[in-house]
Amino acid sequence: MKNLVIHDIFPPVDVPDNSVYIFSPLLLAAILSTVFVVRTLYKKFRVHKIRREKKYIKILNNCDFKNTKQSSYQISYYGHLLAKTAKEKEALKEIISELSLHKYKKDIPEISEEIIEQFKMFLNTIEHRYV
């Protein structure tokens, strides 16, 4: 049995391995396409955010101070969405503290010119950031 020759089995053959050369460009293409998609989505949503903030600024510019209650609520809500820096937040906090007299009462006084001027200055600083 030791000298039995089997003719069906072939000796091992060297097979060239080109998988590294195929895998590397595919991996690079996948990384580049992922970066492109993420960058495109980031730009799209960033532009959308800027448009949204410009819309808020437009709402605050068109704020009707004759309707005291609605304007004080609008200033409070949209001001919080727009104030980013510490200086802006401090100015808004001061404006809102003065507007709190106009929010929760049935008979409300008109908004004073001082508050309107403070608000205009606050809005002006915010507009300069987005222009």
Q: What is the pLDDT of residue 53?
A: 87
Segment 27-48 shows an average pLDDT of 91
- In this predicted model, what pLDDT tens digit does every residue of 93-129 receive, in sequence order? 999 998 887 777 777 788 889 989 999 999 999 888 8
Q: What is the pLDDT of residue 121?
A: 93
Name the one residue in this structure whose structure tokens are 């590397």: 24
Q: How far apart are CA 31 and CA 15, in angstroms?
A: 30
Q: How far apart are CA 79 and CA 117, in angstroms?
A: 15
Q: Within 13 Å of residue 102, how many CA atoms lie on the same side as its CB?
A: 22
